Amino acid sequence: MLIDARDLTKTFTTADGKLPVLNGISLQLQPGETLALTGESGSGKSTLLHLLAALDTPDSGTIRHQDDDITSGNDTSRAAVRRNRIGLVFQQFNLIPSLDIAANLAFQARLAGRYDADWCAVLSQRLGLSELLSRYPEQLSGGQQQRVAIGRALAPRPPVLLADEPTGNLDEATADSVLEMMLELVDETGAGLLMVTHSTRLAGRLSRRLHLSQGRVA
């Protein structure tokens, strides 16, 4: 199993008091599986994704990535989990403005010590970026930038890709084509995908769907 999360809870403290967001969430992600995480705005989708990505910690519950408990470690071990096991794609493309597209694409793999020039060339070709490698992020359209972000996330060949509304900033046709490219590459690498989306149409393209409601899996 790639991810085995059990009984996760998370409560935020706000100016208005305590806000319970996750009230005992369990989920599993198997290799090769593509899981859509849906739910109303504010239902806790991003919060859950942040926990699974080791960007934040639950108040209680456990998260195992390939049998290793990532909830018991410190900041350093969580950073290692992110570097070595997880590819992350956000709605904001988060490319590095001062680096050209080739360097953006290679960035995560270099950080993880797993840069493979041949694989990066395959990724840029498959994502339609080959002609854009010497440009800078500001010179690309939104769809092109998100394709770079997907390539960057997949360049280290992570076992898990976590994506938070990856096509949320794109028009419908662009969103569809970017999602198809991402699904094909995920399928080829054998990674597992968990994708947060508002769209039932896009969720339908994935193999399984999990709906969050009132802090629980509905």
Up-side HSE of residue 17: CA atoms within 13 Å toward CB? 1
Among 3, 25, 36, 39, binds ligand ATP (CB under 6 A): 39
17 sits near ligand ATP (criterion: CB under 6 A): no
For the bound state, the minimum distance from the C-beta of residue 108 to ligand ATP, rounded and expressed in Å, comes to 23
Which stretch, 43-51, 93-101, 114-122, 133-141, contacts ligand ATP (CB under 6 A)?
43-51
For the bound state, the minimum distance from the C-beta of residue 19 to ligand ATP, rounded and expressed in Å, comes to 6
CA 218, 11, 206: angle at the middle one, nearest 5?
35
Which stretch, 12-20, 109-117, 131-139, 169-177, contacts ligand ATP (CB under 6 A)?
12-20
Nearer to ligand ATP, 90 or 119 (CB): 90
Nearer to ligand ATP, 56 or 116 (CB): 56
Beta-carbon contacts of residue 52 (< 8 Å; ≥ 6 apart): 3, 5, 63, 162, 194
152 sits near ligand ATP (criterion: CB under 6 A): no
14 sits near ligand ATP (criterion: CB under 6 A): yes
SS3 127: coil
Nearer to ligand ATP, 14 or 74 (CB): 14
45 sits near ligand ATP (criterion: CB under 6 A): yes
Contacts with ligand ATP by CB under 6 A: the residue count is 12
Query: Which tokens sit at 175?
Result: 């969103």
Query: Which tokens sit at 134?
Result: 């010497």
State how beta strands 68-69 and 60-65 pair: antiparallel
Among 34, 38, 47, 145, binds ligand ATP (CB under 6 A): 47
How far is residue 20's CA from residue 23's CA, in Å, rounded to a whole number?
Answer: 7
Nearer to ligand ATP, 54 or 112 (CB): 54
Would you call 111 exposed, middle or buried from its count of C-beta atoms within 10 A (0-12, 13-18, 19+)? Answer: middle
> In this structure, are residues 110 and 71 in contact, taking their beta carbons and an 8 Å threshold?
no
Which residues does residue 39 pair with via DSSP β-bridges, in sequence order?
A: 212
12 sits near ligand ATP (criterion: CB under 6 A): yes
Task: Enumerate binding residues for ligand ATP (CB under 6 A).
Answer: 12, 14, 19, 21, 39, 41-47
